[in-house]
Structure 1
């Protein structure tokens, strides 16, 4: 009897040890999938929901932007991974030349409030990542978008997280979720959060209209030139990319590298903040090569504030998108400017940006209004 008892204890001990070994098994390495559309986010092995946390795989580098794109107040965890021995080439103004095999992910999430309510707050993943992971008891994951560089170009794939927050599944046709946000003052708003379909993902990233070429938007020097907290230690992101072997050609003196303003930092000039906001939210379409090139509106931040920026510029086409206003920007008069009108709209065919939001970015709109109000000069309506 005693021998039998010891035998059972030995068996249970062995099972417990094998269970611990299984729990501590390292994740599979990141998988560059050269073709097709994997059904699950976990097939890429970039991110994994494990033990109540969203964890980054080995070699997956998080990053943030100085001024991020507005997406219905969603927080975003951005990451980049490259195959061993491959690295991006630095560019002063354009998107870095990223090698085949590069996988970029962007996970949209919200801090949790009471019940099903989500919180409308300002933060970034540098502050919310703890030991390289997001705490899923504090945030709700909504979607993760994958942008992968294949031999024939970039492919964009949207994945939607399940209710259990354990897996995200491919949503080629997009999705829609009804969410409720609560701001710092306690005001709530419910809205339809729209996950774009594959074609919509590609259209936003179609930076060259003629060639239909899809590219990333955020991986530019001016957006990345800022510090990020890596495992408790703050370091410039561009320098960190070089150290990790992910970037070549970076100038030794970072002071000479362009740096976009932080739109929230009121110690920085109003114009720099407004131009940075328009750059990340609008300029990937509104430039001479982009999908909105036919408007002759160029919102890139390094150009002089003139007619190409919309100052006293009549619209290319009349219609409800103008709100019966005569010019894109009327210096000193945000209420008479088409830009203010379109930023304040939620109506299809009027609102700008035309994809990626169902709500109005009140703070962003106010920033642009303040900037327009401070612009000198006047428009001559007789020349319209």
Structure 2
């Protein structure tokens, strides 16, 4: 009896070990409760690092999410590759996993996962494309997966525990109170993890309602970033490692500006900012296409950018303003107002933030102020 019991306990132990894969593991149908079951990361010696095949990347201009920093990585099955598209999201094969980990820097002296206090910081101090993410001053919030299955893309939000040892699937989302420290100013807000239905608000970018990744497009990836092969262009890296086929020389590909590059043209920076933050809805194929307001960087017609255009369905979101954009007058422009306000019924984007991105608003105001023309009496 004792021997039989030992055998049973041993089999259970071995079965438990088998549920923690040693490498990236694609689940074609199952949605594991634990992020560990995807085999994406190792946590050791104070760092979270990518497993073999999981490649870190960064966007030229990132989407604003309440000042959260983001560690982005993509896995493509061996022997397969995404197909390059000059404008749209690359066509990734079944088995692709995209992981975006949201995190904040914590003040010195606080245990990273235990404190509700987070602070403004530069991601480069804690993250690289080579060695993963330093956890000594980082609070992991969530890891959002986008998984390419036979039926299309699916989104799965995993929320990290306070000890930063495990993330679990939270299909209904989560609300986490935080205190954000920017210099001498502290702002209390609630960090919102979206539920799976809310993911469609940004990622369902066409009439079929099918989910699609946002950032894995040529214009967002066409920049240098440290990683496998050194500090090189990301399109070139993805092609070199076999993750991308059909890509041209980076010089021939679309390239968005970095919104915080003070040496770049203000217009290019502003358009890149609106592109990544707004164009997944406000485009010819996005959920907000009926508004007639298209904010992707390829749109050149100022009228489609809102210039002297009355809103169609903004409701009280107009802030009392008459036009979407009044050249020369950010203070009279609905676009600038909705980016600046925190009112849930008026702000844009509608989800994904509770705070105002002061630097982004300042950039858009500077751009609008430099536009010529006005709108009749408003100009």
Look up the SS of the partner of 2:331 in the other structure: helix
The RMSD of aligned alpha carbons is 1.7
* Correspondence 1:258 to 2:254: yes
CA-CA distance at 1:318 after TM superposition = 5.3
Distance of 1:131 and 1:98 partners within structure 2: 23
Look up the SS of the partner of 2:304 in the other structure: helix
* Correspondence 1:148 to 2:153: no
Give the equivalent residue in structure 2 for 1:197: 195
CA-CA distance at 1:312 after TM superposition = 0.6
Give the equivalent residue in structure 2 for 1:65: 59
Larger Rg over CA atoms? 1
Look up the SS of the partner of 1:213 in the other structure: coil
Distance of 2:129 and 2:331 partners within structure 1: 44
Give the equivalent residue in structure 1 for 2:348: 352
Look up the SS of the partner of 2:42 in the other structure: strand
Q: 1:319 to 1:130 in 2, by over 3 A?
A: closer
Q: For 1:256-300, what per-residue CA distance to the aligned partner results, in whole angstroms no more than 9, with x for missing partners?
A: 111100000010000000000000000010011111011011111
1:287-298 correspondence to structure 2 within 5 Å: 287-298=283-294
Distance of 1:137 and 1:121 partners within structure 2: 14
Distance of 1:275 and 1:63 partners within structure 2: 21
CA-CA distance at 1:93 after TM superposition = 0.8
Distance of 2:263 and 2:325 partners within structure 1: 25
Give the equivalent residue in structure 2 for 1:15: none
1:205-354 correspondence to structure 2 within 5 Å: 205-208=203-206, 210-230=207-227, 233-251=230-248, 253-317=249-313, 319-354=315-350
Q: 1:131 to 1:93 in 2, by over 3 A?
A: closer
Q: Give TM-score, length-normalised by structure 2.
A: 0.90
Does structure 2 retain, via aligned residues, the 8 Å contact 1:109–1:142? yes
Does structure 2 retain, via aligned residues, the 8 Å contact 1:90–1:247? yes
Give the equivalent residue in structure 2 for 1:123: 123
Does structure 2 retain, via aligned residues, the 8 Å contact 1:155–1:202? no
Give the equivalent residue in structure 2 for 1:18: none
Look up the SS of the partner of 2:73 in the other structure: strand
CA-CA distance at 1:317 after TM superposition = 2.5
Distance of 1:34 and 1:130 partners within structure 2: 27
Does structure 2 retain, via aligned residues, the 8 Å contact 1:82–1:102? yes
Distance of 2:124 and 2:252 partners within structure 1: 25
Does structure 2 retain, via aligned residues, the 8 Å contact 1:277–1:364? yes
Distance of 2:322 and 2:73 partners within structure 1: 42
Does structure 2 retain, via aligned residues, the 8 Å contact 1:49–1:167? no
* Correspondence 1:111 to 2:105: yes
Does structure 1 retain, via aligned residues, the 8 Å contact 2:81–2:93? yes
Q: 1:318 to 1:242 in 2, by over 3 A?
A: closer
Q: Give TM-score, length-normalised by structure 1.
A: 0.89
In structure 2, runs of 5+ residues without a counterpart are 1-19
Distance of 1:328 and 1:299 partners within structure 2: 12
In structure 1, runs of 5+ residues without a counterpart are 1-25
Q: 1:257 to 1:177 in 2, by over 3 A?
A: same
Does structure 2 retain, via aligned residues, the 8 Å contact 1:64–1:124? no
Does structure 1 retain, via aligned residues, the 8 Å contact 2:55–2:129? no
Does structure 2 retain, via aligned residues, the 8 Å contact 1:76–1:124? no
Q: 1:221 to 1:52 in 2, by over 3 A?
A: same
Q: 1:151 to 1:193 in 2, by over 3 A?
A: same
Match of 2:83 among 68, 84, 89: 89
